[in-house]
Amino acid sequence: MKFYKYQGAGNDFVVIDDRSSAFPVSQELIASLCHRRFGIGADGVMLLQNASGYDFRMVYFNADGTEGTMCGNGGRCLVRFAHDLGVIGHKTTFIAIDGEHEALVSPQSISLKMIDVSSVDQTAAYDFMNTGSPHYVAYVENLEKYDVVKEGKAIRYGEPFVSRGGTNVNFVEVLGDHSLAVRTYERGVEDETYACGTGVTACALSANLRYGFEDFVDVKVLGGDLRIEFNRTDDNTYENVWLIGPAEKVFSGEINV
Ligand SMILES: N[C@@H](CCC[C@H](N)C(=O)O)C(=O)O
């Protein structure tokens, strides 16, 4: 079976054209494809499937083989894949685990419309919200030197999150007006990744609440640069939330299944 590898700001994925629904889904197979020593190596696997009423369906699995919730960078990569296959033109509407998404394709970037966010749990120490996946957002100093894996794991496996299915954990440093640096510990990868799209989206909305950044936020991640655009309504709902950044094919090959 043919596989492709795509990356978006360093968040990397094995991608399969599964319009025939022939991919033999199993946790062991997906985890072995994602293994960085014994497999292809990736933060997740995505299947592009047919979906009635939509251009395609996105099915996303984390690197540990579990089915994930929404993956923003994965969604952007799958849109690039659909465009490369000729399944879509420059605009698309597709369906994912968290509902319908629109996206726009350009040579340099893929813009993905994320779900509306109407509820943010705020404490003095952190913000927590669901941007398609659950995200904890905390502000730290000296992010470059921060122990993201140790601290992220403690939060992901600590209460109250562990008994609610866990969370992704984002650490943020404010770089300036409308500008953040973010590092993310990802649930399901159980490690720091180079970027997390639903994570930087949560950080941008949090920065609107805490720092008053309006309309857009630029985010530096380990694997590159992402932009989030949004509107906040009078009843404090975030809508027209767009995640924008590069997404490109890096390899293709054959897997034995
Ligand atoms: N690991 C996540 C979802 C994936 C997030 C992702 N990398 C992104 O870009 O949004 C989970 O299932 O919690």
Mind listing the pLDDT tens digit for each residue in 183-234?
Answer: 999 999 999 999 999 999 999 999 999 999 999 999 999 999 999 999 999 9
pLDDT of residue 77: 99
pLDDT of residue 117: 98
Of the candidates 245, 176, 255, which has an alpha carbon nearest to the alpha carbon of residue 213?
A: 176
CA of 156 to the centre of ligand 1 (A): 13
Domain count, the chain: 2
Residue 128: domain span? 120-242
Q: Give the atom of ligand 1 at the shortest distance from the alpha carbon of 132.
A: 10
Q: Which residues line the annotated binding site for substrate?
A: 11, 62, 72-73, 168, 186-187, 197-198
pLDDT of residue 248: 98
Please tell me whether residues 110 and 126 are part of one structural domain: no
11: Cβ below 6 Å to ligand 1? yes
Instruction: Name the residue at shortest CA distance from atom 5 of ligand 1.
Output: 71
pLDDT of residue 212: 98
pLDDT of residue 201: 99
Q: How many separate helices (H) and strands (E) can be counted in the chain?
A: 4, 17
133: Cβ below 6 Å to ligand 1? yes
Please tell me whether residues 10 and 108 are part of one structural domain: yes
198: Cβ below 6 Å to ligand 1? yes
57: Cβ below 6 Å to ligand 1? no
Structure tokens at 225: 């640069």
DSSP string, 83-128: HHHTS--SEEEEEETTEEEEEEE-SS-EEEEPPPB--EEE-SS-EE
Please tell me whether residues 132 and 59 are part of one structural domain: no
Structure tokens at 165: 């299915």
Please tell me whether residues 62 and 166 are part of one structural domain: no
130: Cβ below 6 Å to ligand 1? no
170: Cβ below 6 Å to ligand 1? no
ipTM score of complex: 0.89
Instruction: Name the residue at shortest CA distance from atom 6 of ligand 1.
Output: 71
Q: Give the atom of ligand 1 at the shortest distance from the alpha carbon of 70.
A: 3
Total residue length of the chain: 257
Please tell me whether residues 75 and 189 are part of one structural domain: no
Question: What 8-state DSSP symbol labels residue 213?
Answer: -
Q: Left, alpha or beta for 154 (phi > 0: left; psi -120 to 50: alpha)?
A: alpha
- Burial class, 153, CB count within 10 angstroms (exposed 0-12 / middle 13-18 / buried 19+): middle
Helix (H) or strand (E) holding 233: none
Please tell me whether residues 129 and 198 are part of one structural domain: yes
Residues annotated catalytic, as ranges: 71, 196
Please tell me whether residues 109 and 124 are part of one structural domain: no
Give the pLDDT of the chain (257 residues) as one tens digit per residue: 999 999 999 999 999 999 999 999 999 999 999 999 999 999 999 999 999 999 999 999 999 999 999 999 999 999 999 999 999 999 999 999 999 999 999 999 999 999 999 999 999 999 999 999 999 999 999 999 999 999 999 999 999 999 999 999 999 999 999 999 999 999 999 999 999 999 999 999 999 999 999 999 999 999 999 999 999 999 999 999 999 999 999 999 999 98
Please tell me whether residues 175 and 69 are part of one structural domain: no
pLDDT of residue 127: 98
Q: Give the atom of ligand 1 at the shortest distance from the alpha carbon of 193.
A: 7
Query: CA-to-CA distance for 82 and 73, rounded, in angstroms?
Result: 14
**What Cα–Cα distance (Å) separates residue 95 from each residue in 29, 82, 103, 133, 172?**
24, 13, 11, 15, 30
Please tell me whether residues 105 and 126 are part of one structural domain: no
Please tell me whether residues 132 and 232 are part of one structural domain: yes
pLDDT of residue 124: 97
CA of 102 to the centre of ligand 1 (A): 18
Please tell me whether residues 98 and 206 are part of one structural domain: no
Please tell me whether residues 154 and 230 are part of one structural domain: yes
Structure tokens at 160: 């109250």
> Does this model's pTM top 0.90?
yes
Residue identified by tokens 């404090």 is: 236
In sequence order, which residues have a C-beta less than 8 Å from that of residue 218 and are 6 or more positions away? Answer: 178, 179, 180, 225, 226, 227
Domain CATH number, residue 14: 3.10.310.10
CA of 233 to the centre of ligand 1 (A): 26
User: Which phi and psi angles does 114 have, rounded to 5°?
Assistant: -95, 170
